[in-house]
């Protein structure tokens, strides 16, 4: 059973949406948006960090919707690691904080400490409508507000939740922004 | 007491509520207003196994409790007026009520008299006020880490604090492990980090904005929440959604279940370092979400179910959902076979994180947590609603109560969901998907339960002159989180991720 599955995987085409070389012609069935994004992302990541950036995700009050879609970036379809982007378990290892949710009062200190624990240069991406503008939770005693009311935000990716493709697009924008910017 | 004069707790509970006149305008279950003595007697009967606690929540001057007397087909709600802002604790007799009562006290400052645990629960001292839904006196901010964990004494014990920010891409919460070598002597959870004030946002608001908040209580169960909310409002206002909407609701609910179960099965195997299944399940899940996006114009199907009906599906939705099912069904069966024939993986999942039947019965734990430990309850079958009323399906049940059983419950539920989907997709009724809500003067109340992928969700509403006076939502996690503490006892620390993922409780759904 296992041998058959592995053997088949060995000879099968990858499920991943291919990341075309600049000189390669697009394949039928490629998601054009994803392929374009992937290519651009890879090039700017290389310019800035050599080959990679590392992300620490922080849920500061999200409904878990954004987390599901951020998770999807790691599945074999989107497979962000091929672009040199990976998720780390510790803010000490991170270049980028991906923050979701309207920041709750109960998470404010944890977010501040996570930010402080991240070495510079660092960037903060606010993911989702709640992180961007506090969403439907704005009028509550329990929320501080959007992410930028607690830590400085470099980029906002809106959507409720943003699709994985939007997240990729956002990360690309960040890289372009970051390449033109001095160390904070 | 001699046996001859003892009547069983459920008979006593039924007797306590018999011959009372229910409050007018509460549908479809009866609601009784009872005094403090009767409330305490109900709590005591629950504690002696007379029934299931379904929820407990506060409102201005009132505390409500939803429960189901053992053996009775229809649950009920009982309400007690707070007397100089106190009420008799149910948790004193019936521990599943303790965290709910601690939450009620934090939000309203009602004191549950006799509660054995007087620590705050949702209030971490960060709001700047106390009792935000009560009198709101200003309060000095405290250090959020100041919390008195339960004492553990013994030789060679040490503690491991984890969270609120966890290692993975998951929700925040704090786990305090007390361990002896590799073995967990006690796990204590501290939750409330993602408390967004949902109960406040669901007080004195309009039906539509309340629906958007409900849809964002727990993003992974957005369909189940909106479904329960829509049904509660429809019950209150006596509205029957069109046949097409009913079937579309069932389709969305089962797609949500399949997508989440696929993600969970992969993630559980990944926590046992078996990444092959994780990779394949990730692909299946993605196929489902791509199809739901095409069919309902949203990958998680957020805000699609509304009081009165649903948003309509895209043209051709049935066809590409059927195609998606065809695409994943056979490969998924292969992955299941792989799970079943990999002893090194089962070595991690079998006999790990066992929960006893007695505990799941006492906590009335729903979903895979209850059904893997022998509690045969599924809202779709036991408190049936459209479109499940006319559908035939099985509710898988296992008794070993370990991580493996919780995996198998999910696997079998995917099979049942796919069968339901195939039947419904082959024959979606035509016509409208939405009816307008009637205008009503006065007070109407409604309650509904739906089966989310992780267990039963309860939503209760009071509508006053067409507006939401108060709405309350209870996630299945309230009665599952405490059992995770029991599941991990005497297991090794390294098996915690596995146990935790096999439960997959909601933080946001619990913290509200």
pLDDT of residue B367: 97
Banded model confidence at residue B1, pLDDT cuts 50, 70, 90: very low
Cβ proximity of B119 and B148 under 8 Å = yes
pLDDT computed for residue A2 by the predictor: 76
Task: Determine contact, residues B473/B447, Cβ cutoff 8 Å.
Answer: no
Contact A159, A27 (CB under 8 A): no
User: Given this model, what pLDDT does residue A19 score?
Assistant: 46
Rg of chain B in Å (alpha carbons): 23
pLDDT bucket at A118, cuts 50 / 70 / 90: very high
> What mean pLDDT do residues B93-109 have?
97
Which of B124, B283, B300 is closest, CB to CB, to A65? B300
Contacts 24+ apart (CB under 8 A), B377-382: B377/B456, B378/B451, B379/B449, B379/B450, B379/B451, B379/B456, B380/B450, B380/B451
Task: Identify whether the C-beta of residue B51 lies closer than 8 Å to the C-beta of residue B95.
Answer: no
Q: Residue A82 CB: number of other CB atoms within 10 A?
A: 15
**Mean of the per-residue pLDDT values for chain B?**
95
Beta strands B443-452; B26-27: pairing state: parallel
Contacts of A57 in chain B (CB under 8 A): 169
- Check CB contact under 8 Å for A107 and B172: yes
Q: How confident is the model over B354-363, as pLDDT tens digits?
A: 999 999 999 9
| Least CB–CB distance from A106: residue in B195, B276, B302 | B195
CB contact under 8 A, B217 and A114: no
pTM exceeds 0.80 for this model: yes
How far is the C-alpha of A125 from the C-alpha of B190, rounded, in Å?
28
Nearest CA to B270 out of B339, B202, B219, B217 is that of B339
Mean pLDDT of B325-348: 96
Q: Does position B276 have pLDDT exceeding 60, yes or no?
A: yes
| Residue A20 predicted with pLDDT over 50 | no
Banded model confidence at residue A11, pLDDT cuts 50, 70, 90:
confident
Contacts of B124 in chain A (CB under 8 A): 105-106
Q: What is the pLDDT of residues B41-92, one digit of tens each?
A: 999 999 999 999 999 999 999 999 999 999 899 999 999 999 888 999 999 9
> Is residue B372 scored above 90 in pLDDT?
yes
Q: Which two tokens stand for residue B271?
A: 């926590």
Least confident stretch, B8-17, B55-64, B378-387: B8-17
What is the DSSP code (8-state) at residue B311? P
Percent of chain A clearing pLDDT 90 (strictly above): 53
The Cα–Cα gap between A170 and A125 comes to: 9
User: How confident is the model over B397-418, as a mean pLDDT?
Assistant: 98
pLDDT band at A183 (very low <50, low <70, confident <90, very high): very low
Spatial contact of B239 and B301, defined as CB atoms under 8 Å apart: no
* Range of weakest confidence among A175-179, B191-195, B286-290: A175-179
Question: What is the per-residue pLDDT across A151-170, written as a single tens digit (0 to 9) for each?
Answer: 999 999 999 999 999 998 88
Alpha-carbon Rg of chain A, whole angstroms? 18
Model pLDDT for residues B184-227, shown as the tens digit of each residue: 999 999 999 999 999 999 999 999 999 999 999 999 999 999 99
CA dihedral in degrees (B377, B379, B384, B389; nearest 10)? -90
For residue B296, CA distances in Å to B184, B207, B216, B416 come to: 45, 22, 17, 22
How far is the C-alpha of A82 from the C-alpha of A88, rounded, in Å? 15
Residue of A6, A60, A68 lying closest to B219 (CB–CB): A68
B contacts of A135 (beta carbons < 8 Å): 216
- What confidence tens digit (pLDDT) does each residue in A71-108 have? 999 999 998 888 788 999 999 999 999 999 999 999 99
The answer on pLDDT for A53 being more than 90 is no
Distances (CA, A) of A63 to A101, A104, A108, A155, B510: 7, 12, 16, 20, 11
The predicted structure's pLDDT at residue A141: 95
Q: What's the confidence (pLDDT) of residue B512?
A: 94
Contact status of A165 with chain B (Cβ, < 8 Å): no
Structural domains of chain A ordered from first start: 33-179 (3.40.50.12280)
What pLDDT, in 10s, does the model give residues B115-152?
Answer: 999 999 999 999 999 999 999 999 999 988 889 999 99
Pairing status of strand A103-104 against strand A85-87: unpaired
Closest-CA distance, B220 to chain A, in angstroms, reads: 6
Structure tokens, A38: 């992937």
What pLDDT score was predicted for residue A8? 83
Judged by a CB distance cut-off of 8 A, whether residue A11 touches chain B is no
Domains along chain B with CATH numbers: 7-113 (3.30.460.80), 223-474 (1.10.645.10)
């Amino acid at each position: 059973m296992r041998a058959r599955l592995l053997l088949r995987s060995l000879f099968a085409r990858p499920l991943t949406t291919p990341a075309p070389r600049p000189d390669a012609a697009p394949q039928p069935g490629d998601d054009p948006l994803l392929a374009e994004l992937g290519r651009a992302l890879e090039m700017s990541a290389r310019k800035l960090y050599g080959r990679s950036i590392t992300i620490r995700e922080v849920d500061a009050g999200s409904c878990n919707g954004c987390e599901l879609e951020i998770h999807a970036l790691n599945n074999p379809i989107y497979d962000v690691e091929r672009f040199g982007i990976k998720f780390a378990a510790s803010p000490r290892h991170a270049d980028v904080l991906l923050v979701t949710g309207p920041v709750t009062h109960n998470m404010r200190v944890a977010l501040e400490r996570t930010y402080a624990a991240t070495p510079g240069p660092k960037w903060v991406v606010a993911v989702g409508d709640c992180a961007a503008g506090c969403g439907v939770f704005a009028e509550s005693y329990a929320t501080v507000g959007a992410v930028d009311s607690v830590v400085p935000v470099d980029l906002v990716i809106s959507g409720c939740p943003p699709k994985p493709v939007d997240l990729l697009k956002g990360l690309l924008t960040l890289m372009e922004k970051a390449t033109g910017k001095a160390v904070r | 007491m001699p046996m001859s004069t003892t009547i069983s707790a459920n008979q006593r509970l039924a007797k306590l509520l018999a011959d009372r006149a229910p409050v007018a305008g509460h549908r479809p279950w009866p609601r009784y207003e009872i005094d403090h003595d009767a409330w305490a007697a109900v709590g005591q009967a629950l504690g002696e196994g007379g029934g299931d606690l379904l929820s407990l929540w506060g409102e201005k001057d009132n505390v409500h409790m939803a429960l189901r007397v053992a053996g009775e087909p229809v649950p009920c709600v009982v309400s007690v007026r707070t007397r100089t802002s106190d009420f008799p604790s149910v948790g004193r007799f019936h521990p599943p009520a303790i965290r709910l009562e601690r939450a009620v006290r934090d939000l309203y400052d009602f004191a549950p008299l006799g509660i054995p645990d007087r620590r705050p629960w949702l209030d971490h001292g960060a709001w700047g006020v106390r009792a935000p839904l009560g009198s709101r006196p200003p309060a000095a901010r405290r250090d959020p880490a100041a919390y008195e964990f339960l004492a553990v004494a013994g030789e060679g014990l040490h503690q491991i604090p984890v969270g609120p920010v966890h290692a993975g891409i998951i929700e925040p919460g704090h786990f305090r492990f007390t361990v002896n070598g590799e073995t967990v002597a006690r796990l204590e959870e501290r939750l409330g980090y993602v408390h967004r004030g949902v109960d406040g946002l669901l007080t004195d608001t309009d039906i539509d904005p309340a629906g958007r908040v409900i849809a964002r209580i727990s993003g992974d169960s957005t369909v189940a929440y909106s479904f329960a909310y829509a049904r509660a409002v429809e019950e209150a206002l006596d509205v029957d959604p069109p046949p097409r909407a009913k079937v579309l609701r069932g389709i969305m609910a089962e797609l949500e279940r399949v997508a989440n179960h696929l993600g969970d099965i992969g993630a559980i195997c990944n926590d046992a370092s078996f990444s092959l299944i994780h990779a394949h399940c990730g692909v299946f899940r993605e196929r489902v979400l791509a199809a739901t996006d095409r069919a309902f114009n949203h990958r998680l199907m957020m805000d699609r179910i509304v009081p009165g009906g649903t948003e309509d599906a895209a043209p051709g939705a049935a066809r590409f959902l059927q195609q998606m099912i065809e695409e994943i069904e056979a490969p998924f069966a292969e992955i299941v076979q792989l799970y079943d024939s990999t002893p090194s993986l089962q070595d991690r999942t079998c006999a790990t994180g066992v929960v006893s039947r007695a505990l799941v019965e006492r906590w009335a734990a729903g979903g895979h947590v209850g059904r893997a430990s022998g509690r045969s309850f599924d809202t779709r079958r036991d408190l049936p609603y459209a479109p499940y009323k006319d559908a035939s399906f099985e509710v898988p049940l296992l008794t070993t109560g370990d991580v493996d059983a919780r995996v198998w419950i999910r696997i079998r539920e995917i099979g049942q969901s796919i069968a339901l989907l195939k039947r419904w997709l082959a024959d979606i009724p035509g016509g409208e998907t939405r009816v307008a809500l009637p205008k009503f003067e006065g007070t109407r109340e409604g309650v509904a339960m739906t089966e989310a992928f992780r267990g039963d969700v309860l939503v209760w509403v009071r509508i006053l002159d067409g507006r939401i006076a108060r709405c309350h939502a209870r996630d299945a996690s309230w009665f599952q989180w405490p059992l995770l503490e029991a599941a991990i006892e005497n297991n090794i620390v390294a098996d915690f991720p596995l146990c935790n993922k096999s439960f997959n409780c909601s933080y946001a759904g619990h913290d509200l």
